[in-house]
Chain A
Amino acid sequence: MSVLRVLSHWGDSAISWDAERAANGDREAEAAVQEAERIFATERARGATAFRVQAGRTAERLERFDPTAAEIIMVPRVAGG
C-alpha cells in the first residue's frame, strides 16, 4: 500500500492506495490514486513541498505525483523565521 501524508495542524492527514491494483485497472484503487493526485496538486498550489520517504534511505524531493511511491509526505510552505 502507498500513502500520501499532508502535515497540518491536525498532525497529518493521510490517503492510501494500492498501486498494483490501480495498475491492474481496479476502479476503487484508481479512484484512490486520482484523489491522492488531486490532493497533491492542491497542496503544491498552496506552496507545499513533497518528499518521497523510504525506510533506510534519505528523503527525496518530488516535483510530480508518483503513484508508485511507497510514502509521500507533504510539508507546508516554509520561510525564514
Chain B
Amino acid sequence: MGLSLSETVLLGLALLAAGGLWLIVHQPRWLAQCFGAAENLTAADRLAAEDRANQLLRQLLHPDEYERMMQRGYLEVSSPTIPGRSYRIPYPQGLVDVFDHGIATLRLCVVPTRWVPDHDLMIMHKLFIEGDEARYLRVANQFPAGTARLVSPMARKVDAFHQSDKRFVDEPVICND
C-alpha cells in the first residue's frame, strides 16, 4: 500500500520537524561551530587550555623573567618607542599599569573579543606592546593611575561564568581589578 503525495509531504515535514527539535535539544558542538555560535568549555577543557597557554608563555619568556613574574605578580615590558616607559602586565589578568620614569601614570584595559586562557592574555599584552604599541594605546580604555575599575553588572555576570563548571568562550574578558 503506497503513500499518497500529501501523505509523503506530511511525513517529510514531520521528519524535518523531529530533526530540528533534536538539534535544538542536543545542540551538537559541530553545528554550533558551523554557525559561529558560542561554545561551552568544560572545566577539563579549560584546565587543558590554561596548561597549554602556560607552556607557551614559559617558552616565550626567559626563565628568569618567568620566575620574576611569578614572584612579583606581574610581567614588566619596556616600551619600544617611549623612553622611560614600562608596562606592568598583571598575572594572571587585570588592568595594565603604565609607569613613566618609575612613576605610575595610567591604567589600561585591553581585552580580546573572544575568550582565551589567562596566560594567553599575558602573551597578547606583551606581543601588542612590543609589536604594535601605538595601536595598543589607541585601542585601550585608559584610566588614571591608582584608580580601581568599578565592577559592572556585566563583570559580575562573567564572574558567575568563571565560577561555574562551564563558560561561554565568546564572552569577552573584563579587566577585573
Binding site for B on A (CB under 8 A): 5, 7-12, 47, 49, 51-53, 58-61, 73, 75-81
Contacts and interface: CB of A to CB of B under 8 A. Distances in A.
Nearest to B41: A9
B58 interface: no
Interface centre among A7, A9, A51 (most CB of B within 10 A): A9
A36 to B, nearest CB: 17
Contacts, number: 100
Q: Please report whether the interface of chain A is mostly helix, strand, loop or mixed according to DSSP.
A: strand
B49 A11 contact: yes
Contacts of B140: 80
A81 B172 contact: yes
Given A58-B80, A76-B114, A11 B56 contact: yes
Interface in B73-118: 80, 109-117
A29 to B, nearest CB: 23
B92 to A, nearest CB: 14
A76 B127 contact: no
Given A9-B117, A75-B124, 11 more contacts: A9-B41, A9-B115, A10-B49, A47-B113, A51-B131, A58-B80, A77-B114, A79-B113, A80-B140, A80-B141, A81-B141
Interface centre among B120, B126, B173 (most CB of A within 10 A): B120
Interface of B: 39, 41, 45, 48-53, 55-56, 60, 80, 109-117, 120, 123-124, 126-128, 130-132, 139-141, 169, 172-175
Given A78-B139, A81-B111, A5 B131 contact: no
B113 A11 contact: no
Nearest to A10: B49
A79 B172 contact: yes
A51 B123 CA distance: 11
A77 B112 CA distance: 6
Contacts of A78: 110-113, 124, 128, 139
B110 A76 contact: no
